Amino acid sequence: MELAHAAKARPQEYRWALDAKQIVMFFEKASLRTRLTFEAAINTMGGSAIFVDQTQSPLGERESLADIARNVERWVSAIVLRTYAHETITEMAEVAACPVINALSDLEHPCQAVADFMTVEERFGSAKGLKFTYVGDGNNVCHSLMLTAAQLGAHCTIGSPKNYAPKADIVAQARAIANRTGGSVNLVNDPTVAVTDADAIYTDVCTSMGFEHEVTKRAPIFKPYQVNEQLMSHAAPHAVFMHCLPAHRNAEVTDAVLDGPQSVVFEQAENRMHAQKALLLMLLGGKKQGSGIRD
């Protein structure tokens, strides 16, 4: 995150840092921010990106993941995956001799979380001790936000309906980290309790990609968790509103909040590029250039 702030503040210093480096991006899910920010990140540092649309043909269907990895590692510097099954990423990473980046799976969305807390640091100086609240479905974004908040020593509260809480093993992992950093992880069902005195309120869609068949079932369950002006009024006066986008306007969040003065959603979107610059620099730059070492 320190490197991300530096890359944003002084982009000219990194203009050729990844000269001639290439990444390949295999995407099984639709994308706007993830695709364009990865491409912009490496292109503006002298490298290039190759996009492979897998939305009609899931990875591993035509050719085994191991065979794909053993081919691709010989041509590019890193593999970026946006998939459904988290096992697609872990299996590829076990075989590939180059870095494999999780650009989203059904379990986690770590690149998003890094950009989000970069945005928090820009606004508040530090995430340590901050009250960070996530309201909504305990999904992949929620998992990565919990883990990142814990690592930074924030006090993270998840407000979700019964039976839609984040996975217990991720919660346990986040709490173990928070115990070391001075942070905390708290789960509640009442959205008002969750957001009271919060410094940042975050939400996501109620139905993630791959769960579209549950839209009708979920709509009434998540209606009380909509982030609107009334819910925001319980937060601290200086609180910010956050969303990973795309947003379903007037579903999980109202237009008044999404477009209001407390919203930093487009700052988050911009910071995806800077955070991914830092990630690529750490994986591909300096002494690790051309080493073939996987972290």
Residues annotated as catalytic (active site), given as ranges: 82, 109, 112, 204, 244, 272
Dig out the tokens for 36 from the structure: 């364009």
Half-sphere exposure of 285 (CA within 13 A, CB side): 18
In order, the DSSP letters of the chain are: -HHHHHHHH-GGGGTTTTTT-EEEEEESS--SHHHHHHHHHHHTTT-EEEEEE-SSS-TTSSS-HHHHHHHHTTT-SEEEEE-S-HHHHHHHHHH-SS-EEES--SS--HHHHHHHHHHHHHHHS--TT-EEEEES---HHHHHHHHHHHHTT-EEEEE--TT-SPPHHHHHHHHHHHHHHT-EEEEES-HHHHHTT-SEEEE--SS-TT-GGGHHHHHHHHGGG-B-HHHHTTS-TT-EEEE-S---BTTTB-HHHHTSTTB-HHHHHHHHHHHHHHHHHHHHSGGGTT-----
Helix 265-284 × helix 2-9 angle, to 10°: 110
